[in-house]
Chains A and B, each alone.
Chain A
Amino acid sequence: MITPTATPLSISGYSLLALFFQFLDSFGFIVLATVGLAIIFGMMGVINLAHGEFILIGVYGTALAYHAGAPLPLGMVAGVIAATAFGVVVERTIVRHFYDRLLDSMVATWGLALVVSQLLLIVFGSSLDSISTPLGNVSYGPYSSSVYSSVLLPAIAVCVLAGLYALFTRTTFGIKARATIEDPETARAMGIDTDRMYVATFAIGSALAGLTGALYAPALGSITPNRGNTFLVEAFVAVVVGGQSVILGTLAASGVLSVFNATGSFLFGTFVGQMLLLLVAIVALRVLPDGITGYVDDWQQRRRAEE
């Protein structure tokens, strides 16, 4: 995070740099908070309202392993595995009943969210010890930024998106997955086991949520059972603004939203940053009801029509 010690409105090289780091911080956060939700929404149309709790399981897995003596990277692996396993169980027992009842799937996953966060409270108490953020800070002029959350996490976020892009465009899994999104009926007729594709997709989405939790476990400060909500607003807004195209949508929405969020946060505090996020989302929805990627599709069609 950024600690401004000078008056923030004075424009200088340093403050522009600080704003840039704030943007990176915000961008990484929105991408990572969104990507697990976006992949499940984009592929299956299901909005997983327990997304915050999936992230939370990543946080708890990491923190518990770390406090048990594991090195932090190993703890993070534990967090990802825990969230993935949980995701597979949830898909098999609950979500698969709702593929043709999308609104009900939101209600069901919300019920799940209530149960999970409350169970974490009952089992592990009101908070776990926090994990100190690795890598320290870099100072420049009157400002300082966390290397971990303003440099490393945004870099990982970009790598995650690049990895997903490769997965969807370069592998047989990706081709089958896209065929399933495009037209499940035809995909089945072509011998694709769509049921397995859905489990796999849900597992990937859960793993990414777990990864987000694992990565942010040392950046959250106190670890409490309601920490999942920290990620929800950003994730929901980005999915809605991005539209149903997973990678492009997440990237575009995160880029646009973090510009507003970072500028608002930098100049007026995190609260204004979040309010701006919402305002942008509402305006974006009013103008582009199918999200940015829906608009891009539409625009490409129109351009072809004019040619």
Chain B
Amino acid sequence: MIGDSSADGRSLLGRVRDRLEGPNTIGDSTTFWGAFAVVVAALAVYPQVVGPYTVIQTSRYFALAFLALSLCFIWGYAGVLSFGQVAFFGVAAYVFGIVGINLGSVTGAMVALVAAVVGGTLAAALLGYFMFYGGVRDTYVTIMTLVVALVLNTFMAQTAGSEWAVGEAQLGGFNGMNVPSLAFGIGQSGLVLERAALYYALLVTLVATYLGLRVLVNGSFGMTMVAVREDEARTATFGYDVPFVKLVVFTIGGALAAVGGVFYASWGNYVDPTVFGIGFAALPVVWVSIGGRESLLGAIGATLVIERMRTELSSGIGPVGSEWALVIVGGLLLTVILFMPAGVVPTLDDLADRARSRRTEQSQSTTATEEPVE
């Protein structure tokens, strides 16, 4: 808990850790932060030791991790299960493409980034308003979000004709739309985020987002979200405006998905209606359920592992053909939800906690002076 940092409570590091740590995230020990630093450092040197193909693929997993964080945030912390986070991901991807194509410069790509994130976020806010202020709850929310994604899928799929264009951007229907790369700079010159540059941009954004979300969920808003998740009616009787809280949560979730969507579209320089399809919509639910819905780190980790596995299966690595990838993913999801409902990471953390407290008890019974690990 926070207690162990009381000694360095006045130091900057101690205060930063206080904000990052709390009951709503896993990993409050010095060991954890050491391991975290090592992993981030390893990911930073990763592009120097592996081939360009692996770097490019890993960038894609990073982009998808935002989608996982988006669902983890709203479902794990506020209990709002959305099957349609891909809708905001996809809306942002399309807006990024449309604005980027029409402006067609480095500055244009920056404007497109902002427009896309705003677009995805507003879409979530609008849907959230209709649902939460309409009193739509639980399974109805889940179904509504999925239906919205599926209808966007149908809508975008029929935009193949040349009349479906926004300015110079052809929506392209099933054939999809070509999308420019993310870039930072002025006019026509600047840093275009591709390959390793995109990788590093994603890594930095992802780590920053993760830490930011930790601060958010461990702060008073996180406590409010958890209270809403645990008992909406009770939380209203403490004066909380529950629909408003859920709207804010859902909007932040939409923004996270939108950031992922922009990176994803920029990564492949392409977006098509399958981002709204039921197959893609299933993936965030798979990652977050398996990684652990109440663990931001679990959601990211599961995304990286499962997507890596899918890539390898589909490129013929492994004992079975690529067509088995979805069977394995679906089977994994079923197994985890049946036997490990909290997900892999929280379950492991729980086991580690128990092992640690056993060890502490033993050491206390032998040498009462030894300090507990945390």
**Does a CB–CB distance below 8 Å link A and B in the complex?**
yes
**Could you tell me which A residues sit within 8 Å of B by CB distance?**
41, 45, 47, 49, 94, 97, 101-104, 106-108, 110-115, 118-119, 121-122, 229, 232-233, 236-237, 239-240, 271, 274-275, 278, 281-282, 285-287, 289-290
A45-B139, A94-B338, A111-B333 known; A229-B158 Cβ under 8 A: no
B151 touches A274 (CB 8 A): yes
Number of interface residues of B (CB under 8 A): 43
Best-surrounded residue of B134, B135, B337 (most CB of chain A within 10 A): B337
Among B134, B150, B289, contact of A107 (Cβ-Cβ < 8 Å): B289
A236 touches B334 (CB 8 A): no
Give me 12 A-to-B residue pairs in the complex whose CB atoms sit less than 8 angstroms apart, sorted by A's number: A41-B139, A47-B143, A103-B79, A106-B142, A111-B330, A229-B278, A233-B150, A271-B155, A281-B144, A286-B130, A287-B134, A290-B135
B81 interface contact, C-beta 8 A:
yes
B327 touches A122 (CB 8 A): yes
A278 touches B330 (CB 8 A): no
A114-B330, A237-B147 known; A289-B155 Cβ under 8 A: no
A104-B337, A110-B285 known; A271-B323 Cβ under 8 A: no
B33 interface contact, C-beta 8 A:
no
Residues in B22-57 with C-beta less than 8 Å from chain A:
none
B138 touches A239 (CB 8 A): no
B333 touches A114 (CB 8 A): yes
B334 touches A285 (CB 8 A): no
A108-B334, A286-B134 known; A102-B326 Cβ under 8 A: no
B338 touches A285 (CB 8 A): no
Chain A's closest residue to B135 (CB) is A289
Rank and list the top 3 A-B pairs by shortest CB-CB distance, nearest first. A114-B330, A111-B333, A289-B135
A278-B151, A285-B140, A285-B144 known; A104-B329 Cβ under 8 A: no
CB of B29 to closest CB in A, whole Å: 30
CB-CB < 8 A to A101: which residues of B?
A: 341
B139 touches A103 (CB 8 A): yes
CB-CB < 8 A to B190: which residues of A?
A: none
Best-surrounded residue of A111, A275, A290 (most CB of chain B within 10 A): A111
B150 touches A239 (CB 8 A): no
Bound together, the chains give a CA A112 to CA B338 distance in angstroms of 12
Chain A's closest residue to B158 (CB) is A271
Bound together, the chains give a CA A104 to CA B148 distance in angstroms of 20
CB-CB < 8 A to B185: which residues of A?
A: none
Apart from A114-B333, A282-B130, A285-B131: 11 A-B pairs, beta carbons within 8 A = A94-B338, A97-B338, A101-B341, A103-B142, A106-B142, A111-B331, A114-B329, A115-B334, A122-B324, A275-B155, A285-B134
B116 interface contact, C-beta 8 A:
no
A233-B151, A271-B154 known; A47-B330 Cβ under 8 A: no
Bound together, the chains give a CA A125 to CA B294 distance in angstroms of 39
A103 touches B81 (CB 8 A): yes
B136 interface contact, C-beta 8 A:
yes
A47-B139, A106-B139, A108-B338 known; A118-B285 Cβ under 8 A: no
Bound together, the chains give a CA A236 to CA B154 distance in angstroms of 15
**Residue-wise interface mask of B (301-340) relative to A, using a CB-CB cutoff of 8 A (1 in contact, 0 not):** 0000000000000000000000110110111111001100
A108 touches B147 (CB 8 A): no
Best-surrounded residue of B148, B330, B332 (most CB of chain A within 10 A): B330
B282 interface contact, C-beta 8 A:
yes
Bound together, the chains give a CA A289 to CA B278 distance in angstroms of 25
CB-CB < 8 A to B282: which residues of A?
A: 110, 113-114
Chain A's closest residue to B133 (CB) is A286
CB of A117 to closest CB in B, whole Å: 8
B137 interface contact, C-beta 8 A:
yes
B130 touches A239 (CB 8 A): no
B66 interface contact, C-beta 8 A:
no
Chain B's closest residue to A233 (CB) is B150
A112 touches B334 (CB 8 A): yes
B271 interface contact, C-beta 8 A:
no
CB-CB < 8 A to B140: which residues of A?
A: 240, 285, 289
A47 touches B142 (CB 8 A): yes
Bound together, the chains give a CA A278 to CA B143 distance in angstroms of 12
Bound together, the chains give a CA A27 to CA B303 distance in angstroms of 41
B146 interface contact, C-beta 8 A:
yes
CB-CB < 8 A to B83: which residues of A?
A: 49, 106, 110
**Residue-wise interface mask of B (204-225) relative to A, using a CB-CB cutoff of 8 A (1 in contact, 0 not):** 0000000000000000000000
CB-CB < 8 A to B130: which residues of A?
A: 282, 285-286
Best-surrounded residue of B134, B138, B155 (most CB of chain A within 10 A): B134
Bound together, the chains give a CA A27 to CA B230 distance in angstroms of 40
